[in-house]
Amino acid sequence: MLKVEGINVYYGAIHAIKDISFEVNQGEIVTLIGANGAGKTTTLQTISGLLHTRTGSITFQGQNITNIRADKLVSRGLAQVPEGRRVFLQMSVQENLEMGAYQPQAGVPKDLEMVFELFPRLKERRNQVAGTLSGGEQQMLAMGRAMMSHPKLLMLDEPSMGLAPLLVEQIFEIIKNLNKQGSTILLVEQNAQMALSVAHRGYVLETGKIVTTGTGEELIRSPEIKKAYLGG
C-alpha cells in the first residue's frame, strides 16, 4: 500500500532523515520506533506532505505521491493523527469530528454514527467542549476525526504520549480494533513495548536511519531492542 524509497529530509543544514526505505502492506500495523529525535515524526510528516524530501520516492497504492501537498493527499485516502492530538479546544466534540469530514456534507451523519460506534465515549460527550475532555478522550477525538475522512492508511504519531498507563492500554486496544475492522495503520511511538505488541512489523530508527527491522514479535524478543528500548 505504501512504499518509501531512499528519502532524505533536511532542516536547513541538518540532515534529519538519511536514505530511509520501508513499506506498509494492506491490512498491516507497521510501527516506527526509536528514541526522541530519531526521525520518526519527520518521516510521517514527509509521507503526509508537510515536509519535502530531496531524493527518493513515496508511492501510495501504486501512485507516486512524493512532495504532493497534504490537503491533496487526504482525498487519496491518507490521514495523520498528529503528535499532541491538536483538537480544536473551543469547539464541541461533534464540531471537531465534522472538521475531519472530507467528503460532501451529505455523508456526515452516517460518518458520525460510524465514529460513535468506534468510540462510544465520544457519543456520550458529543456536545461537550473538546477542551474539557481528558487527555485520553482528546486522543480518541483526534483518531475519530481522522476516521471521518475514511482513510485507507491511518498514520498515528505518538498516540500514547502523556497518557496514564490504563489509558495507554485503552488506546492500543482501539488501534487493534481499528485494524481488525480493516484499517491499515502506520504507527510512530516511543512506547516500544506497546507498539511492538500490536504491530505486525516494525522498523527501528536511530539518528535518521533505519538500523533494524523485523516482525513485532522478533523485535520484542531481540536482546539489543530489549536493552535499548524495553528496559530489559
Q: What is the pLDDT of residue 21?
A: 97
Read off the pLDDT band of 231 (50, 70, 90). Answer: low
Long-range contacts: 101-109, Cβ < 8 Å, 24+? 101/148, 101/149, 102/74, 102/75, 102/148, 102/149, 102/150, 103/149, 103/150, 108/148
pLDDT attached to residue 105 = 57
Query: What are the tens digits of pLDDT across the range 4-53?
Result: 999 999 999 999 999 999 999 999 999 999 988 899 999 999 999 999 99
Question: How much is the mean pLDDT over the chain?
Answer: 90
Do residues 82 and 138 lie in contact, with contact meaning Cβ atoms separated by under 8 Å? no
> Nearest Cα to 10, choosing from 58, 66, 51, 57?
51
Q: Can you read off the three cell numbers belonging to residue 178?
A: 481499528
**Cα torsion angle, 44, 96, 125, 135, sign:** positive
Per-residue confidence (pLDDT) for residue 195, from 0 to 100: 94
Tally the C-alpha atoms within 13 A of residue 59's C-alpha that lie toward its C-beta.
12
- Percentage of the chain exceeding pLDDT 90: 58
CATH class of 2-86+152-229: alpha beta
In this prediction, residue 165 carries a pLDDT of 86
pLDDT at 6: 97
Phi-psi region of 49 (alpha: psi -120 to 50; beta: other; left: phi over 0): left
Q: Quick one: pLDDT at residue 92?
A: 94
Does the pTM exceed 0.75?
Answer: yes
pLDDT of residue 156: 94
Q: Tens digit of pLDDT for each residue in 63-119?
A: 999 999 988 888 888 998 888 778 988 899 999 998 888 665 556 888 899 899 888
